[in-house]
Chain A
Amino acid sequence: MQWGLTMTLDYDGWIILIGVLVAACCAIPGSWLVVRGMGMMGDAVSHAVLPGIAIGFLVSGTRSGAWMFLGAAIAGILAAVITQVVHHWGRIERGAAMGLVFTTFFSLGLLLIVQSADSVDLDPNCVLYGAIELAPLDTISISGMDVPRMLIPLAAVLIANVALTGMLFKELLAAAFDPGLATSQGFDSRWLHYGLMALTAATCVACFEAVGSIITVALLVAPPAAALLFIRRMKWVIVLAALLGGLAAVMGHLAALTVPGWILGGNVDTSSSGMMAVASMAIFLAAAMFAPGRGSLARRWAARRDAMRVAVEDALGLLFRLEERAVTMDRDEVEGLLRSDVRIGGRLAAVLARLRRGSLAELRGGNWKLTVSGRSEAQSLVRAHRLWETYLAGRASIPSSHLHAAAERLEHVTDPSLAAQLQREVGDTPDDPHGRPIPPA
């Protein structure tokens, strides 16, 4: 099937499938690393496995051998152990120790590969950037169907990752959240840590052929970090990280096919693995902005909504106090007074619209008047304000000139049960410290 000029399902379909598997593989150890605040360890391990891969490859002479996984897992664990030792004995901080160890391992691996490049078929470029675009060309036949050879280790590692994290979920959770508790219960958190490093190392081996050791890091860290912005339960963080990673793989390959064409024109494409990393970063940025609750836009929107609510409540309070003191003002004066409240200010038009829409206040006889429901709401606000003033003056000995500002903030967060508690605390006081009556509930 032809999709436009550049895409065929049995070629690009395989690439996307491999990308999705890579992302799902990475999401599992990646989620554990990110919640433990060890995202950098993913970076370190993905580089440190290189000498293990090279030695495994030199020993076995093939690229899909169990030797490579074994070598990588050993190198990954060794890197974690040596990092610990360098950190402890060399008396340098953990991040720097990691930087020392994984660059050393990585260069060692590169040297091994370059030295033996003449005799063996392992390309340093492929190690760095992967060769996902070429994956569909290198197939093996499984029960009559030609599938990319790369798919086999990926599927195996994905199954292993799912099985292990499923079986050891509670052990990993306890060791990640509270290593002391886990160890005191007989789950040695050090061994779980090294087990996780081995899992990460095996994942890196399965993924490095497709997307290279550098882009693996993006898929280890970005999707779990994005998922954490949406969900706060570990199980679902892993599931969502796998889904977001898969989305990044699909978007990445499609973008690699189309984006260079938009910019340069014509039928050109770019590195799919690179675009997958870019897409995972884009997903993270989108999550950081739009995630409900934790995204920056969501937080800003919530802050705006709160500011608006406070402004409306201030307006209600002011109208109530004018009514209470039977002040006669014309509409311009009333609106000027409202505008002088710092929390209303420029929001005045929106505040008045809100009051009218909520039937809290209305224009009656050419001026702003509270409705019945507006008056009852305003009354409970003013009541909270004056109860707080009384309470603060009595209990906290705050000077009376400072009472108003404090009460002004507190009145907006006082619900009826808190107001009732305040009333009990201050007792049967009819007036606030300024001599104004405390309205009934």
Chain B
Amino acid sequence: MIQIRGVHKEFAVDGAKVTALSPTDLDVRRGEFVSIIGPSGCGKSTLLRIVAGLETASGGTIAMTEARSPAQRVGFVFQEPVLLPWLTALENVRFPLDTAGVARQEAEDVASRLLRLVGLAGFENALPRTLSGGMRQRVSIARALSYDPLLLLMDEPFGALDLITRDRLNDELLAIWSETRKTVIFVTHSVEEAAYLSDRVIVMSPRPGAIRSIYEVDFPRPRGEATKLDPAFHHLMANLRRDLQ
């Protein structure tokens, strides 16, 4: 559903040209969960931000089939929750709907349903400052889903959380994904996270940022503790680690 062809990004630092991302091709199928993994400076976030329209590519094309209105076709989950601190959890989730002019009642229904989906029923009226880091990030995910985007882009969404919260949110993300059937592009620097979540893992290498290898991941779903014990899972992680060297 998304075709990336020859997308690259250069910028100038003190007159010298720096390549953040060399020409990259990537196809993502509808409903697929793709992870992009790589060390910092490999251009993985740049690629994601270009797809989101947060940065403009120096060249190349991105085609989205079955794209509806160009506005709000992608949901974006940042590394930090980036909630509006003066709005309650519910108001944060319905914020994109309110700004897009969706009727009050409809926005309210969608937002409360999504808060339930991310396990925050009962926290509708809580301000972000009263929520834990993990809960804030769940609100952020619900907000990204509120306008029902075709594509969900996640930029190291759990990178700032502790490992226990991270593991739990990984499982919840998979549950949400299997319920909503979104296409997900997930940027991470965690080998385990990439292997556990994805249908496909893309390894990128730095200087200049480029795709180094691609792994199909066909562990059965739903995944769980059994997946993490599977020798094939560890074999995959070893391969990913080797490619990251």
Q: Do A and B come from one complex?
A: no
